[in-house]
Amino acid sequence: MTSWIAPLAPQPVRATVDLPGSKSITNRALILAALANGPSTVTGALRSRDTDLMIDALRTLGAVVESPDDDGTTVRVTPGPGRGGDVDCGLAGTVMRFVPPVAALATGRSRFDGDEHARSRPQQTILDALRALGVPVNGDRLPFVVDGTGRVRGGTVRLDASGSSQFVSGLLLSAARFDEGLVVEHVGPPVPSMPHIDMTVEMLRESGIEVETPEDSGVPNRWRVHPGAVAPVDRVVEPDLSNATPFLAAAAVTGGEVTVPRWPARTTQPGDAFRDILTSMGAEVLLTAESLTARGPEKLEGVDVDLHDIGELTPTVAAMAALAGSPSRLRGIAHLRGHETDRLAALTAELGALGCGVEETDDGLIIEPAPLHGGPWRAYADHRMATAGAVIGLVVPSVEVDDIDSTAKTLPGFADLWSAMLAGGGAR
């Protein structure tokens, strides 16, 4: 772990920040490429700890993954005969939940493990689903074992995906390769982060796979993937909009202006919803064909917002709320207790330690802004907790993030990008 004193912004931040590709799109693209019936190329892929773990996992299971360019952002994937092996999930939810169905389609034993924090993350839902489809699985959390036989029967599974949308996406991504395809029926409280399932469905259709959603069938909480070949697709990955949020928040909390180039006009990324949150808190947002620009107000306003579908934005929103001029309520995010860390408890502890009034509710946080002081900020090995500390540190002197290296999970070089933003001009 590298301790890092978050740099104070001596004046309103004014910069252009060009960000690498989306982790969510990159890892879905890699899975589909490994399952396809021919080679695929992913251009603009994110190279981070999470995506490198996905590449390593797919290589372990038999795919050939090559990067012809120097920075590795162009990735060529050639499917291979599936085999078992040892899969390191790190702390990546997409690896621990998307790869087991791929391992079920391979031949041989695959052993999954990861970081210590990953062993407490919810996993049983997707493993029980695989067991219901006839796949031998030993274990309910990391570490666990999948014994692949080269095929999966498919059919219908009923599950409670209220803990994570990744349980649904993980099954859908491999389902076309199942003998009977797959019907996934969710039974339980609403599924969080629905835009991520929309992303999965859109990418499946781009790969020539027939998918029926609840909107298509009129049956709530039901997804059907028809069996068939997965077509190879050459994809260009959008910038990661969730990784953009701390940089846009920098404009919001300092009364500055930050521009993110290549912001898509249409996207399934949850980070796009940050535009509305910025506006609700008093910032000005301008979207053009080339970029998105956020301009901060003199003082941010508190917000009452349901973040159920965009929970990954919560640490950034909480940091802004702590610096606003009125209270905020963040709702619909009980599922964040099962993320990289218990993000509700972590935000309550760290904001409270700096002097902010914070109350943890059943499904979120109530934040009462107060004069903040510097001090330690624990990241809990969670990249979004680390970047939230950086946002606070722009206006509160001597905020020391204990593990800035955790940002490498989705955004390697974050500290350098942050410093370049504060220096003005372009950050890349």
Cross-strand pairs, 184: 157, 223
d(CA 316, CA 271): 11
Mean pLDDT of the chain: 96
φ/ψ of residue 147, rounded to 5:
-100, 100
Point out the annotated binding site for phosphoenolpyruvate. Answer: 23, 93, 121, 166, 343, 384, 409
Cross-strand pairs, 108: 148
Could you give the residue numbers annotated as active site? 312
Average pLDDT over residues 406-425: 93
pLDDT digits (tens, 9 = 90+) for 258-275: 999 999 999 999 999 999
pLDDT digits (tens, 9 = 90+) for 77-123: 999 999 999 999 999 999 999 999 999 999 999 999 999 999 999 99
What's the pTM? 0.92
Side-chain half-sphere CA neighbours of 173 within 13 A: 33
d(CA 117, CA 93): 11
Show the domains of the chain with their CATH numbers. Answer: 4-21+238-427 (3.65.10.10), 23-225 (3.65.10.10)
DSSP state of 293: E
How much is the pLDDT for 151? Answer: 96
d(CA 49, CA 386): 15
Q: Which residues of 143-161 are buried (b: 16+ CB within 10 A; e: fewer)?
A: ebbbbbeebbebeebebeb
* Residues 133, 135, 140, 146, Cα dihedral to 10°: -150
Cross-strand pairs, 257: 14, 295
Q: DSSP 3-state assignment of 259?
A: strand
Measured at the CA of 364, the angle between CA 318 and CA 1, to 5 degrees, comes to 55
Point out the annotated binding site for 3-phosphoshikimate. Answer: 23-24, 28, 164-166, 193, 312, 339
| Sign of the CA dihedral with 27 first, then 28, 29, and 30 last | positive
pLDDT digits (tens, 9 = 90+) for 167-211: 999 999 999 999 999 999 999 999 999 999 999 999 999 999 999
Helices (H) and strands (E) in the chain, counts: 13, 24
Q: How large a percentage of the chain has pLDDT more than 70?
A: 99
The residue written with tokens 């910032």 in the block is: 283
| Sign of the CA dihedral with 26 first, then 29, 30, and 31 last | positive
- Given a cut of 70, whether residue 427 has pLDDT beyond it is no
pLDDT digits (tens, 9 = 90+) for 26-73: 999 999 999 999 999 999 999 999 999 999 999 999 999 999 887 899
d(CA 34, CA 56): 12
| Sign of the CA dihedral with 24 first, then 195, 228, and 42 last | negative
In the sheet with 4-5, reading across from the earlier edge strand, the strands are 4-5, 399-401, 375-377
